[in-house]
Amino acid sequence: MKQLIKLKVNGDEYEIAVAPWKTLNEVLRKELNLTGTKLGCGTGDCGACTVLVDGKAVNSCLTLAVEVQGKEITTIEGLAESEDKLHPIQESFIEKGAVQCGFCTPGMIMTTKYFLENNPSPTVEEIKKALDGNLCRCTGYVKIIDAIQDAAKKMKGGK
Amino acid sequence: MSNYKILGKGIPRIDTPQKATGDALYTADIKLPNMLVGKVLHSPLAHAKILNIDVSKAKKVPGVKAVITRDDTFGEKWGVFKYTRDHQLIASDKVRFIGEEVAAVAAVDEETALEALDLIKVDYEPLPAVFDAEEAMKDGAPLIHEDHPNNINIHVKIDVGDVDKAFEKAYLVREDKFTSKDEGYGMLEPYAVIAYYHSDGSIEIWMPNASPHTKAKALSNLLHIPLNKVIVRRPTIGGAFGGRSDIFPLDFITSLLSIKARRPVKVVYTREESMICTRQVHSMVMYAKTGVTKDGKILAQDIKVIMDGGAYSSTGPIAASVPFLVWEETYKLENVRLNSYRVYTNKPIRGMYRCHGRAFLGGLGMQLDMIAEELGIDPVEIRLRNALNPGDMQATKSKIYSCGLKEAIKKAAEKIEWDKKRGKLPFGRGVGIGANGMMCGFPMGIRGGSSCFVKFNEDGYPTIISGVIDNGQGNYHAMVQIASEVLGVPPEEIHIVAGDTEVTTLDVGAYSQAAVLVSGNAVKKACEDAKAQILKLASEMLNCSEDELDIENKIVFSKKDKSKQVPLHKVIRKGLIENRHVMGRGHYMPEVSNDREWVKNPVGQQATTFSFGANAVEVEVDTNTGEVKIINAVGFHDCGFPINIKGVQGQYEGSIASGGVGSTLKEEHIFKDGKVLNADFLEYKIPTSLDVPENVYADAVITNDPKGPFGAKEAGLFGSMNSFQAIANAIYDAVGVWIKDFPITPDKILKALEEKRLKDEG
């Protein structure tokens, strides 16, 4: 039996009918057509589905949609600062060559956003630990780590 | 280095802003009006006769729009080669592995499709099964395909020189056995297909693929639809690594569902289905006998390898050959014999992989190091003594053109500080080296070439139309950089239409390391053709000769007198009004021996040219836990000329992670009676950010290949293909044990250390 829920995603309010067992990932991708959030495994192992719920990075494949009513949900589509200005993390991922096939990228970027907000000046070791739930098969993580260091600098005004 | 304006620089890739914003549409992201959801029923048995399939109940479920089985096909079998057509892509008389596709349903939603699947009743008669390639070859083993005695799918036999006589002259002969377990690809994107059959008899289809034209050809044969009506579209693709090359059952099944339902159908495989029902990677057993001179030159080699191919052929003849080809592309082998068997078992189907052949290449590399040690020769030195040179002929008669192999080996050794470290680091630390060559394309007959069109719009902005496909490695960007260099238009102002069989012409795809050489040459030629037309028109406008003109930043100008210039769009418009439309055309066919055949005639030029590379690593082995950590990894790549140096580095960084850390140290599919027990990312351990080397350094060795576009060749594969030997060799340097079974997991190291301790204590 479906139930009516209210979700706030990227600042927009949605009222939708969903079955209570539907995950946030399914609702974002299939009901709201926000397909920037990926599904890589469905079991919380790869991190490709990472979104922010009240600013915290979560696996949307393991979160039920009904659980996150009334919370602020941010997906990759809601990260850019304006129509023509990307978020510094997005800029750094592009500039540093951290994107290859790109399937892990939205999840990586959302994890990074949560991480850098809580640790604005991370060491390489801290970055690696922060990323250990986000798998990437293309890059060997080298340029992703570069990009995160670069983004950290940008977010602190270049320092 | 060069005077290129655009090439060689690490400029950001044109395809990455869409990927970093979530704009890029992968197959599972695409939604079409009135689209149905498809689900597939898989075999629960490893080997069984299908007695009956009853779909009557499933069809009656409200919301079910199509159910398909073997009865909905033309009964055609597919294989990459005419002689390997053994796969009907939906089970017909038998099932041959756990997970084989038996039936499928399209319904209005997922729940309905799943409910209907549960109602399909399949009666099986179980048959004895076999799960080990060597067991499968024995007389009396259950036959998986009745027309293949001893379950031998492919036997590639190569015999060059006089191997037996050469062994007699050898100063030292070694015989070793190396093995490797079954692997997975681990691309992040689960497999997905959308098919949309139209009432005009055409079918549109989206799927992650490494060669849209290869997919189209197979579907055309199987569905009896002409090629111009099989429209393979281009989604964004989430990784391939060799595992998206040929046709998969899901491509066919989704098409059948759409044809039957007359509606678009999408099937998205789960991670588990994706890891079992697309492709896996061969396990191998290799027996290598090598004879050398006193100074370490390879005199004779006799290699027997048995590859577990799983239930069907896939790219069998290629898979059975490539590890050997890579070996002969590296070292001078005057007397060499290969007996490579790809064997059927009741396991999922195996395909090509960027780390294909870890027992083979890792094993032969390890054996070379063992020989070096017995002879008192340094591992770097023995590689230099045997390495191919420019102008050399390989064992099966491919000529080498540009070749920076020795330079790569020397640079890798120097960068890792080989002389300071080898044999001199404290116990538990060591360095190792690996090297290999790599073909830039396979001989693929009519499917081996590429062509390209360039069109200009009236505002002067060009569109490149090429059959090339990008799985994430950066092929679109490489094409755009090549076009930009020729046309004098900035990369971000060029649009590329690629990998869509409705508009693009036949292309080899992102397969066999051919894209830069083959598709890149076609793009370059098409742009040169367009440029010649532009300069001719402009010369009339500027009253000067075409030879003195060039284009930069969309301005055509005289190199002699810069005041003579005209914007590109005005030249294009002149062409339009005068009925001289600027349309560039270019095509390229690799210079290979077209009579070379994988099994029947494995002799002749196999690729236009070859790239080379060397890897050196420093490892730390924890002797209490057996864990290996790669501290430093350095790679030097003779990719001819790096079109985008960041791309070349990124390929190495990814290769050392997946080939080095993953294939060499961690990855292995575990089976129980043919069932994959770890078809997930929790238990199938692809490297995380915490597993990769602490420091990675990658650089290019520039050889400016005469055949490559702007001197460029294949970039990237060496990092994975020779990391096995580099790491195994470094582990030996660190703790004095050889592990001959991949992956080199901690338990094997601990066991070997214990055996060594007991032996040392006498």
ipTM above 0.85, yes or no: yes
Q: Tell me, what CATH number does A59's domain have?
A: 3.10.20.30
Can you list the pairs that B535-542 forms with residues at least 24 positions away whose Cβ atoms lie under 8 Å?
A: B537/B571, B537/B574, B537/B575, B537/B578, B537/B580, B537/B582, B538/B566, B538/B571, B540/B574, B541/B566, B541/B570, B541/B571, B541/B574, B542/B566
Q: pLDDT by residue (tens digit) across A97-135? A: 999 999 999 999 999 999 999 999 999 999 999 999 999
Q: Is residue A119 part of a domain?
A: yes
Three-state secondary structure along B388-402? Answer: CCCCCECCCCCECCC
Question: What is the rounded CA–CA span in Å between residue B104 and residue B256?
Answer: 9
Same domain, A92 and A128: yes
Chain B: nearest CA to A131, how far in angstroms?
Answer: 6
Q: Output the six-digit token pair for B548.
A: 């003195």
- B746-761 burial, b for 16+ CB within 10 Å, e for fewer? bebbbebbeeeeeeee
Q: pLDDT by residue (tens digit) across B706-750? A: 999 999 999 988 899 999 999 999 999 999 999 999 999 999 999
Spatial contact of A24 and A90, defined as CB atoms under 8 Å apart? no
Does residue A1 register a pLDDT over 90? no
Specify the fold of B34-126+205-223+244-262. Aldehyde Oxidoreductase; domain 3 (3.90.1170)
Same domain, A92 and A140: yes
Chain A: nearest CA to B429, how far in angstroms?
Answer: 21
To 10 degrees, the CA torsion angle through B738, B742, B743, B747?
-50
Mean pLDDT of A26-42: 98
Identify the CA nearest to B95 among candidates B221, B306, B283, B277.
B277
Q: pLDDT by residue (tens digit) across B66-81? A: 999 999 999 999 999 9
Indicate if B280-443+596-760 has the same CATH topology as B16-23+444-588: yes
Spatial contact of B465 and B476, defined as CB atoms under 8 Å apart? no
Kindly give the residue spans of alpha helices, DSSP state H, lying in B154-248. Answer: 163-169, 212-223
Mean pLDDT of B236-241: 97
Spatial contact of B212 and B509, defined as CB atoms under 8 Å apart? yes
Question: What is the rounded CA–CA span in Å between residue B6 and residue B96?
Answer: 52
Q: Is residue A19 part of a domain?
A: yes
Say if the Cβ atoms of B12 and A94 lie within 8 Å.
yes
Q: Output the six-digit token pair for B338.
A: 């290969």
Full residue range of the structural domain in which residue A53 is found: 3-77
Same domain, A55 and A20: yes
Question: What is the rounded CA–CA span in Å between residue B7 and residue A151?
Answer: 27
What per-residue confidence (pLDDT) applies to B511?
Answer: 86
Helix axes B746-760 and B723-735, enclosed angle (nearest 10): 40
Q: Is A90 on the interface with B (CB under 8 A)?
A: yes
What is the biggest distance separating any 2 CA atoms in chain B, rounded to whole angstroms? 92
Strand B695-702 and strand B48-54: pairing? unpaired
Say if the Cβ atoms of B26 and A127 lie within 8 Å.
no
Mean pLDDT of chain B: 97
Same domain, A50 and A106: no
Q: pLDDT by residue (tens digit) across B256-292? A: 999 999 999 999 999 999 999 999 999 999 999 999 9
SS3 assignment, position B33: coil
Please count the structural domains in chain A.
Answer: 2
Strand B671-672 and strand B462-466: pairing? unpaired
Chain A: nearest CA to B692, how far in angstroms?
Answer: 7
What per-residue confidence (pLDDT) applies to B695?
Answer: 96
CATH number of B16-23+444-588: 3.30.365.10
Chain B: nearest CA to A70, how far in angstroms?
Answer: 24
- DSSP one-letter code for B65: E
Mean pLDDT of B472-479: 96
Partner residues linked to B103 by β-bridges: B41
Give the position of tokens 């997905």: B192
Q: What is the CA radius of gyration of chain A?
A: 16
Q: Is B656 on the interface with A (CB under 8 A)?
A: yes
Chain A neighbors of B237, CB-CB under 8 A: 101
Cite the beta strand spans of B20-120 per DSSP E: 36-42, 48-54, 64-68, 94-95, 101-107
For testing contact with chain A, the best of B11, B13, B19 (most A CBs within 10 A): B19
Q: Is residue A65 part of a domain?
A: yes
Chain A neighbors of B24, CB-CB under 8 A: 102
What per-residue confidence (pLDDT) applies to B716?
Answer: 85
Same domain, A7 and A63: yes
Question: What is the rounded CA–CA span in Å between residue B245 and residue B510?
Answer: 8
What per-residue confidence (pLDDT) applies to B443?
Answer: 86
Say if the Cβ atoms of A43 and B647 lie within 8 Å.
no
Chain A neighbors of B190, CB-CB under 8 A: 39-41
| Portion of chain B with pLDDT greater than 90, in percent | 96
What per-residue confidence (pLDDT) applies to B10?
Answer: 81
Identify the CA nearest to B720 among candidates B214, B349, B322.
B322
Q: Is residue A70 part of a domain?
A: yes
Per-window interface: B 693-712 vs A, CB < 8 A: 693, 696
Does residue B630 register a pLDDT over 90? yes
Q: Output the six-digit token pair for B242.
A: 């060799």
Which pLDDT band, with edges at 50, 70 and 90, does A83 fall under? confident
Q: Is residue A30 part of a domain?
A: yes
Spatial contact of B97 and B145, defined as CB atoms under 8 Å apart? no
Per-window interface: A 35-64 vs B, CB < 8 A: 35-43, 45-46, 48
Identify the CA nearest to B342 among candidates B488, B203, B148, B160.
B148
Which residue of chain A has the CA closest to B14? A94
Q: pLDDT by residue (tens digit) across B337-396? A: 999 999 999 999 999 999 898 999 999 999 999 999 999 999 999 999 999 999 999 999
Polymer length in residues for chain B: 762
Question: What is the rounded CA–CA span in Å between residue B375 and residue B292?
Answer: 10
Which residue of chain A has the CA closest to B188? A40
Same domain, A10 and A30: yes
Chain A neighbors of B21, CB-CB under 8 A: 36, 76-77, 79-80, 86, 90
Which residue of chain B has the CA closest to A88? B20
CB atoms within 10 A of CB B505: 16
Q: Of A39, A57, A77, which closes a domain?
A: A77
Q: Is residue A118 part of a domain?
A: yes
Mean pLDDT of B161-179: 98
Would residue A124 be called left, alpha or beta, if left means φ above 0 and alpha means ψ between -120 and 50 degrees? Answer: alpha
CATH number of B280-443+596-760: 3.30.365.10
Q: What is the CA radius of gyration of chain B?
A: 27
Does residue B619 register a pLDDT over 60? yes
Strand order through the sheet with B172-180: B152-160, B336-344, B298-310, B283-292, B172-180, B741-742
Chain A neighbors of B681, CB-CB under 8 A: 40-41, 43, 45-46, 135
Q: Is pTM, for the whole model, over 0.95?
A: yes
Q: Is B271 on the interface with A (CB under 8 A)?
A: yes
Chain B: nearest CA to A54, how far in angstroms?
Answer: 20
What per-residue confidence (pLDDT) applies to B3?
Answer: 80
Mean pLDDT of B620-633: 98
C-alpha distance from residue A27 to each of A6, A14, A35 (Å)? 12, 11, 10
What per-residue confidence (pLDDT) applies to B198?
Answer: 98
Amino acid letter, residue A56: K
Does residue A159 register a pLDDT over 90? no
Q: Of A28, A56, A77, which closes a domain?
A: A77
Question: What is the rounded CA–CA span in Å between residue B126 and residue B396?
Answer: 44
C-alpha distance from residue A93 to each of A141, A157, B17, B22, B404 (Å)? 11, 17, 9, 13, 32
Does residue B599 register a pLDDT over 70? yes
Q: pLDDT by residue (tens digit) across B547-574? A: 999 999 999 999 999 999 999 999 999 9
Partner residues linked to B450 by β-bridges: B507, B588
Mean pLDDT of B416-430: 98
Q: Is B312 on the interface with A (CB under 8 A)?
A: no
CB atoms within 10 A of CB B424: 12
Mean pLDDT of B491-514: 94
Same domain, A25 and A57: yes
Say if the Cβ atoms of A102 and B25 lie within 8 Å.
no
Q: Tell me, what CATH number does A150's domain have?
A: 1.10.150.120
Return all residues near B305 (Cβ < 8 A) that are at least 6 apart.
B284, B285, B286, B287, B323, B324, B338, B339, B340, B341, B359, B360
To 10 degrees, the CA torsion angle through A63, A68, A73, A75?
20
Chain B neighbors of A104, CB-CB under 8 A: 188
What per-residue confidence (pLDDT) applies to B135?
Answer: 98
Sequence ranges of the domains in chain B? 16-23+444-588, 34-126+205-223+244-262, 280-443+596-760
Chain B neighbors of A140, CB-CB under 8 A: 653-658, 687, 692-693, 696
Same domain, A96 and A148: yes
Q: Is A132 on the interface with B (CB under 8 A)?
A: yes
What per-residue confidence (pLDDT) applies to B2?
Answer: 66
